[in-house]
Amino acid sequence: MTNLSLTLSELDQRLLKSGITGWRGANHDIDSAINSENWAAIERAQNDRALHANAIALIFHKYTDTATEQGAQL
């Protein structure tokens, strides 16, 4: 098993924590909306979750981008 260790800037640490909190909250909102069969709320929560997931992915991509010297294909 390989471990991933990243050193994030303070701003990115805050953004990552906010993104994870938002993603978890959106998952909860989706569950609640499904239970109430509120289709509009389901769609909003799915969009919120996608936005948070994209923010998280961008932060990780920023710190794990592969350089050409490491074999990246351009």
The pLDDT, as a whole number, for residue 67 is 59
Show me where the domains of the chain are located. 11-61
Q: Where are the alpha helices (DSSP H) in the chain?
A: 10-35, 39-64
Note whether 8 and 63 are within 8 A (CB).
yes
- Pull the structure tokens for residue 1: 């098993």
Please give the backbone phi and psi of residue 38, each rounded to the nearest 5 degrees, phi first.
-95, 95
Q: Which residues neighbour 64 within 8 Å (Cβ) at sequence distance 6 or greater?
A: 4, 6
Which residues, given as ranges, of the chain have pLDDT below 50?
A: 72, 74
pTM here is 0.75
Q: How far apart are alpha carbons 53 and 71 in whole angstroms?
A: 27
What pLDDT score was predicted for residue 68?
52
pLDDT score at 44? 97
